[in-house]
A = this chain, B = another copy of it.
Amino acid sequence: METVEKLTKTLRNHGMKITPQRLMIFKILENNTSHPSAEQVFKRVKKIYPTVSFTTIYKTLETLRDLGEVQELIIDEDRKHYDPNTDTHHHVICSNCKKILDVFEDFSQHVKLPDTLKKDYTVSGFQISFHGICKDCN
């Protein structure tokens, strides 16, 4: 995700509006490495902006995803998580508490779609999910 300042311009360039709710969501996501779910974003925004609605959180996250500003993580079977870091990277998830950490190692030299499948799929990227148990749960 860009800085809140740049993001503001990006939205305006798309004919979108900057509201205090959105600014709050942007600030909470900026440099956030906790991979929050929509509900976790909602709770944090609500502390500062108590009248915000769940609908606004969902719609704003959808907007940010469509703009390519956040990545929607499909790794926890129960809910989606959002990652403002859109650089190529990977994740470890605890099978018990569902805590997600970033894995910044670059595997792109070794991980490639086999040639036999290249005729069937035009691949845009890949995502590695490590599964295990975190030290808090162990």
Binding site for B on A (CB under 8 A): 72, 74-77, 80, 92, 94-95, 101, 103-105, 107, 109-111, 113-114, 117, 119-135, 138
Known contacts A74-B76, A119-B135: A124-B110 contact under CB 8 Å: no
A129 contacts which chain B residues (CB < 8 A)? 126-129
User: Which of B76, B121, B125, B130 contacts A101 (CB under 8 A)?
Assistant: B121
User: Which of B76, B114, B121 contacts A133 (CB under 8 A)?
Assistant: B121
Give A45 to B127 CA distance when docked, in angstroms.
33
Q: List 10 A-B contacts (CB under 8 A).
A: A74-B74, A120-B135, A123-B131, A123-B132, A124-B132, A124-B133, A125-B130, A125-B131, A127-B129, A129-B129
User: Which of B104, B119, B128 contacts A128 (CB under 8 A)?
Assistant: B128
* Distance from A74 Cβ to chain B, minimum over Cβ atoms (Å): 5
Could you list 8 further interchain pairs (A-B, Cβ under 8 angstroms) beyond the known A77-B80, A126-B129? A92-B120, A92-B121, A94-B121, A95-B124, A101-B117, A110-B110, A125-B130, A127-B129
